[in-house]
Amino acid sequence: MISKRFVIKRLLLLVPVLFGVATFVFAILHLSPGDPARVIAGQRASEEFVRQIRTELGLNDPIWVQYGRFLFEAVQLDFGQSYQIQRGQPVTEVLRYKLPVTLEMAIYGQLFGILLGIPAGLLGAVKQDAVSDHVTRIGALTGISVPIYWSGPLVILLFAQVLGWFPASGRIASEFSIEPITGVITFDTLISGNFAAFQSAAMHLLLPSLVIGIYSMALISRMMRSSMLEVIRQDYMRTARAKGQGSKITVMKHGFQNALIPVVTVIGIQFGSLLGGAVLTETVFGIAGIGTLLVRAIQVGDYPIVQGTVLTFAFLFTMVNLLVDITYSYLDPRIEQ
């Protein structure tokens, strides 16, 4: 059982962290070079126009007034308006369309990682000879050593260029026009019954999620294997076997649930670095999610977008970690103390 006290304690711990995160994000705008008003105004604006904008944005107010205003607005999920990329549009509005794109890719990638990683790890644990040990180990280490921005292009080269099986970039072929419902394209196309569009979207998603998935798989399989071995070694398992409760397989079954605990942690932590990796994957595959949005926002100095994106990433990451902790405490109640 998850104790209420644990969850509440964990939530309370979040408060200072999120406060610190918000402060850092506020600092991004104010420590960055350049005048935000100039960014908004552009090359043709007169000094007077720039001054007007500065006043309108409250950039002349004392810093603590601006900080207070930022925090006050941030808790209401108001991050201001985009300076350049979607000039004049609220940041939340911009993120609303971009976030599902990234999440969709990340979730499919993670699914690949789990579905391939857990069986691979188990297999490695069952066959405990030196060969399988080396193979899983090298495989996993190679998986985390190959950067996404290299495996991505290689996969494009092979599957899109040479074999021509999958499209090299984008999310869906240009002949389809999808009225976004949730923004998750495989879901939207499916519930609107447009199967041709669904197929196109799925084909577009496969390569990027696979590339992300390989990275996850490496870590998950490794953790699965070592944690399974650890569990098997534990005393009660030995006892179980001593009592003659059947074959290795039975033992495995028994140990699996316990072995999953650290794997869940890895999956959670992994999801965070996966979000980071999304920036690279989106860049390689030309997908317009919040990763590419962030990169562009930094390039053009659209600070409200930078702030909104970074805050969103941090919030997601923190929430996933929270979920992991709670799941962990559910699987292993001893954690509470």
Among 100, 113, 262, 268, binds another protein (CB under 8 A): 100
Among 233, 236, 239, 250, binds another protein (CB under 8 A): 233
Among 145, 242, 247, 249, binds another protein (CB under 8 A): 145
Shortest CB 1 distance to another protein, Å: 27
| Nearest CA-CA partner of 95 in 300, 289, 298, 318 | 289
187 strand-pairing partners: none
Cβ neighbours of 27 (radius 10 Å) = 12
How many residues touch another protein (CB under 8 A)? 107
d(CA 223, CA 221): 5
User: Is 153 an interacting residue with respect to another protein (CB under 8 A)?
Assistant: yes
Asked if 293 and 99 count as a contact pair (C-beta separation under 8 A), the reply is no
Instruction: From residue 125, give the alpha-carbon distance in Å to each of 138, 222, 249, 251, 295.
Output: 14, 10, 11, 12, 41
72 residue type, one letter: F
Among 103, 107, 288, 331, binds another protein (CB under 8 A): 288
| Nearest CA-CA partner of 30 in 312, 293, 292, 307 | 307
User: Is 306 an interacting residue with respect to another protein (CB under 8 A)?
Assistant: yes
| Nearest CA-CA partner of 37 in 11, 62, 55, 25 | 55
d(CA 64, CA 333): 44
Q: Which of residues 2-31 bind another protein (CB under 8 A)?
A: 16-18, 20-21, 23-25, 27-28, 31
Q: Which of residues 183-212 bind another protein (CB under 8 A)?
A: 183, 185
Per-residue mark of binding to another protein, 248-287 (x: CB under 8 A): ------------------------xx-xxx-xx--xx-x-
Shortest CB 5 distance to another protein, Å: 21
Q: Which of residues 34-53 bind another protein (CB under 8 A)?
A: 34-35, 38-49, 52-53
Instruction: From residue 96, give the alpha-carbon distance in Å to each of 54, 100, 315.
Output: 27, 7, 15
User: Is 89 an interacting residue with respect to another protein (CB under 8 A)?
Assistant: yes
Among the residue ranges 116-124, 155-163, 191-199, 328-336, the one whose residues contact another protein (CB under 8 A): 155-163
User: Is 177 an interacting residue with respect to another protein (CB under 8 A)?
Assistant: yes
What are 320's two structure tokens?
């996933």
Among 11, 71, 115, 157, binds another protein (CB under 8 A): 157
